[in-house]
Amino acid sequence: MESSIHEVVKYTPSLLPAKHYDTETTEPVSYGLCTMEELLSWRRSVANPFNVASVCLAPRVPSLARCSRRTLVSHDMMGGYLDDRFVQGTNVENPYTFYHWQHIDIFNYFTHQLVTIPPAVWTNAAHKHGVIVLGTFITEWTEGAAMCEAFLKDEESYRAVADKLVQISQYYGFDGWLINIENSLSEVAVKNAPLFLRYLTDQTHERVSGSLILWYDSVTESGELKWQNELNHSNRMFFDACDGFFTNYNWTEANLEWMKDFSGVQGRLADIYVGVDVFARGKVVGGMFETNKALEIIRKHNFSAAIFAPGWVYETHSDKNEFRRNQHKFWALLFDYLYTHQVASHLPFTSSFCQGFGEAFYWRGQIETKRSWLNLTAQEIQPLYSSWDTEAQGRLTSCGCPEEPWNGGSSLLLAGLIPAALKTPVCAPMFSLHVPVDSRIFVALIYKTSSGIKVSLQIKTEDSAHSSHTNVQEVTLASVSSEALKDDQLVSQFSQMCGNPDPDGWTFRCSQLELHGCILTEISLLIQRDGEDTGQNTPFSCHVGEIVVLDVASLQVPPYAVQGLCIDDVVWMRGAGPSPETTSPLLRLGATLRWEYPAELVHHFRVYQRWLRGPDPRIPAGQLQLVGRAYSGLFRVTELVVPEPPSLVELVVEPIIWTGLPIPESHWGRRQLSYTEGIQQ
């Protein structure tokens, strides 16, 4: 038991930095920097710790350097920092999000503020999938021109700006910058601009592993603001000083044909990101639901693509309930021109297919919080979403389903038709991976199917030493029993991992495999008829709630305990009660919790509170009540209703580890908070 702390309840204005927190609730928020003064005065000691990414950049296969035709997404939506600014998530209906990560390489968060720092929720979601995240440094109009004249006047000035940009990306855990100078430059400024770019690129590479600095097609070597819609002699000097070039959107195929043969491009075709404005503003190729036309031409000439503002599918369609459908349609049209990258990781590999938002929050098939929500940090590793034609004129669609989640806000829905003529299983691709395996592994699947359907798993592996040697095998799944697992302890542990089976149709199946010296590269679901073949077409649906692949040895690792739980930055407030019958404002607590736990072991944390003692000693201590979920060792409790003083409450942190095994309560973090009423002046 951690020692308790004592607070005197005072209703004084919060001393928390106003930019770091929502002024009404003290919820931590993400934000950008609007002035050069803010940028040059930025220091780690006054930075926002909540906006630091908690997920490191995962490796991918192939790596970015070995990917010859890349895809960048630039997310520009309604000024930015919308619902996604809430670091711990928020309650909102029908939000925008993104989940086609396995088809893109780079994610850029774009606003028109001087320095756009990507919200941590986006960095976390992208990094899980091995996607690089870029912030934006932009100057525009007369004010931007004045800024450029000031910071590009000499070496000392441009190095000062570059140093701050490097420090910011390093501190917040994202991977570089898109530099967008959309104003004219003087002779001195344009001469120093490539030097600024080169210094920024070199310094970022030195301090941020896997980083990128990209330049947007805007000013020319003369300092004139004149979009070229291609890389050419007048803007090559900027390309030569950084990692890549993002063209303007009004190109024609003739621009690409010329650029392909331009001497300044040779050996760096992949570093040219041809811009595609999904809003189709100006004279452009494609856009909207014809963006595939632009991608077709870009890939024909072997360039990378920069898809600008794909949030068009959300922003311009008034019925937000149709967002998933529109998102699926948009990306399905691009599928032939995108490349599927393998998520490289180590065991355990798990996913419950949560897309980072939902109509309620589920835990093991049961509703835990009945409110619409958004938190991209909660997004799980995403499967392959698309529609495929199968053998014998069958059809298969893979999409997220908010109606039947197992954990989080959605499950994976596989739906389609088994043609009468098809006598073999329908193969539904789920994951493209690169996971080294050299042990006895445990595989588990939680799912529910329509009647008359049975499923099994198919895994593809390749030899670690000889990648050309591949093996495909079907994994027959059995019920949880000693006969299937051949290990009574495994049976007990799997039962703990899954909890009590949900009576609403969920099926739990598992298997053990011996895999040595190989790489797990694909996981698919095999779907077939169960029972007699009627000679009829068979429509089917299968909700996949969770898949778990882990090293059996990892189940024997002793549990770790939460260390050093502390409570800081306490704020007291009075607020209206949850119902009209409440006559007196309720006492509410805001506080920051910090603790330590091995990040590589934990999936997330559950934060609870419990009333131990209130002003009436006849009322017994209460039960643990869920406050929220944390995805790092930092969490802000906000607007928590607590008993009137004098009282004693306990705040508790439970780790939920990747294997799914419960951690004993003796290993949870606990801290008691006692408080008394302050003397009011």
- Mean pLDDT calculated for residue range 360-371: 93
AA identity, residue 171: Y
Nearest C-alpha neighbor of 166 from the set 158, 157, 155, 177 = 177
Residue 349 parent element (H or E): strand 349-351
pLDDT at position 582 over 80: no
Nearest C-alpha neighbor of 177 from the set 16, 316, 353, 39 = 39
Sign (positive or negative) of CA dihedral 621, 625, 631, 634: negative
243-257, 527-541, 623-637: least confident range: 527-541
- The model's confidence at residue 422, banded by pLDDT at 50, 70 and 90, is confident
Output the pLDDT for position 485: 56
- The model's confidence at residue 29, banded by pLDDT at 50, 70 and 90, is very high
Residues 583-611 pLDDT 10s:
678 999 999 999 999 999 999 999 999 99
Output the pLDDT for position 201: 98
Burial profile 399-413: b = 16 or more Cβ within 10 angstroms, e = fewer:
bbbbebbbbbbbbbb
Output the pLDDT for position 394: 81
Q: 348 preceded by cis ω (within 30°)?
A: yes
How many Cβ atoms from other residues are within 10 Å of residue 374's Cβ?
24
pLDDT at position 679 over 80: no
pLDDT at position 222 over 80: yes
pLDDT at position 492 over 90: no
Do 599 and 582 form a contact (C-beta atoms < 8 A)?
A: no
Q: Which tokens in the block code for residue 578?
A: 């949850």
E strand map for 210-303: 212-216, 244-246, 272-277
pLDDT at position 483 over 80: no
AA identity, residue 500: N
E strand map for 502-658: 507-529, 538-551, 563-575, 586-596, 602-613, 625-630, 634-641, 647-657
Q: Which tokens in the block code for residue 317?
A: 């369609």
**Residue indicated by tokens 């000392």:** 156
46-60, 80-94, 181-195, 493-507: least confident range: 493-507
Residue 453 parent element (H or E): strand 453-463
The CA distance from 470 to 460, in Å, is 7
Output the pLDDT for position 448: 95
Q: State the chain's mean pLDDT as an integer.
A: 92
End-to-end CA distance of the chain: 36
Output the pLDDT for position 653: 98
Burial of 37 (0-12, 13-18, 19+ CB in 10 A): exposed
Burial of 252 (0-12, 13-18, 19+ CB in 10 A): middle
User: What residues have CB less than 8 Å from 530, skipping those under 6 apart?
Assistant: 452, 453, 454
Output the pLDDT for position 613: 82
pLDDT at position 313 over 50: yes
- 3-state secondary structure string across 17-54: CHHHECCCCCCEECCCECCHHHHHCCCHHHCCHHHCCC
Longest distance between any two alpha carbons in the chain, whole Å? 84
220, 221, 222, 224: CA torsion to nearest 10:
20
Output the pLDDT for position 253: 97
The conformation of residue 411, written as its DSSP 8-state character, comes to E
- 3-state secondary structure string across 528-570: EECCCCCCCCEEEEEEEEEEEEEEHHHHHCCCCCCEEEEEEEE
The CA distance from 137 to 168, in Å, is 12
- Mean pLDDT calculated for residue range 245-259: 97
Residue 136 parent element (H or E): strand 132-140
Do 523 and 431 form a contact (C-beta atoms < 8 A)?
A: yes
Exposure on the CB side of residue 424, measured as CA atoms within 13 A: 6
pLDDT at position 554 over 50: yes
Quote the pTM value: 0.95
The CA distance from 446 to 424, in Å, is 23
Find residue 219's DSSP bridge partners.
Answer: 225
Residue 412 parent element (H or E): strand 411-418
pLDDT at position 638 over 50: yes
Output the pLDDT for position 1: 47
Residues 125-149 pLDDT 10s:
999 999 999 999 999 999 999 999 9
Output the pLDDT for position 470: 82
pLDDT at position 680 over 60: no
Do 568 and 365 form a contact (C-beta atoms < 8 A)?
A: no
User: For residue 236, which phi and psi values (nearest 5 degrees)?
Assistant: -60, -30
| Triad 583, 585, 589: Cα angle to 5° | 150
- Residue positions counted in the chain: 681
User: For residue 46, which phi and psi values (nearest 5 degrees)?
Assistant: -115, 15
- What is the phi-psi region of residue 408: left when phi exceeds 0, alpha when psi lies from -120 to 50, beta otherwise? left
pLDDT at position 523 over 80: yes
216-230, 318-332, 372-386, 615-629: least confident range: 615-629
pLDDT at position 553 over 90: no
Exposure on the CB side of residue 105, measured as CA atoms within 13 A: 23
The CA distance from 509 to 484, in Å, is 10
- Mean pLDDT calculated for residue range 489-500: 61
Nearest C-alpha neighbor of 549 from the set 321, 312, 347 = 347
Burial profile 382-398: b = 16 or more Cβ within 10 angstroms, e = fewer:
bbbbbebebeeebebbb
SS3 breakdown of the chain: % helix, strand, coil, rounded to 5?
25, 35, 40
3-state secondary structure of 118: coil
pLDDT at position 498 over 70: no
The CA distance from 419 to 390, in Å, is 9
How far, in whole angstroms, is CA 456 from its chain's centroid? 29
pLDDT at position 280 over 80: yes
Output the pLDDT for position 561: 97
Do 497 and 661 form a contact (C-beta atoms < 8 A)?
A: yes
